[in-house]
Amino acid sequence: MNIGKYICVSLWFVAFHVFADDVDFVRFDASANAIVINGAPVGVKRCSLAKRLTHVAPRLNWDKNVIILTDVDFVNVSDVRTCSGGSVEPSHIPRKVGFVVDVNPKRKIYLALDLVSVSPMAFTATVAKLGQTRSILSAPGVFSEKMGDEKVKEEAFGYLESTPGRISPNGRYVSADGSMDCRVGAYPGVWDLDLGKNITREDGCEALFNVVAKQQ
Kindly report, residue by residue over 168-181, the tens digit of the pLDDT: 999 999 999 999 99
Peptide bond into 58 cis (omega under 30): no
Can you tell me whether residue 75 is helix, strand or coil?
Answer: strand
In angstroms, rounded to a whole number, what is the distance separating the alpha carbons of residues 167 and 132?
17
Among 203, 155, 198, which residue's Cα sits nearest to residue 173?
A: 198
Q: Could you tell me the residue ranges of all domains in the chain?
A: 1-90, 93-216
Can you tell me whether residue 96 is helix, strand or coil?
Answer: helix
Higher pLDDT, 15 or 164: 164
Among 84, 19, 68, 61, which residue's Cα sits nearest to residue 164?
A: 61
Q: For residues 139-177, b (16+ Cβ closer than 10 Å) or e, as one string?
A: bbbbbeeeeeeeebeebbbebeeeebbbbbbeebbbbbb
% of residues, the chain, pLDDT over 90: 82
97 has pLDDT over 90: yes
**Residue 183, H or E segment:** none
Q: Output the pLDDT for position 212.
A: 57
Q: Output the pLDDT for position 22.
A: 78
Among 74, 60, 61, 72, which residue's Cα sits nearest to residue 27?
A: 60
- Cα dihedral sign, 202-204-210-215: negative
Q: Output the pLDDT for position 39.
A: 84
% of residues, the chain, pLDDT over 70: 88
4: which residues sit within 8 A by CB, 6+ positions away?
A: none
Confidence of residue 16 (pLDDT cuts 50, 70, 90): very low
Kindly report, residue by residue over 66-76, the tens digit of the pLDDT: 999 999 999 99
18 has pLDDT over 70: no
Which whole number is the average pLDDT over 45-58?
A: 97
pTM over 0.75: yes
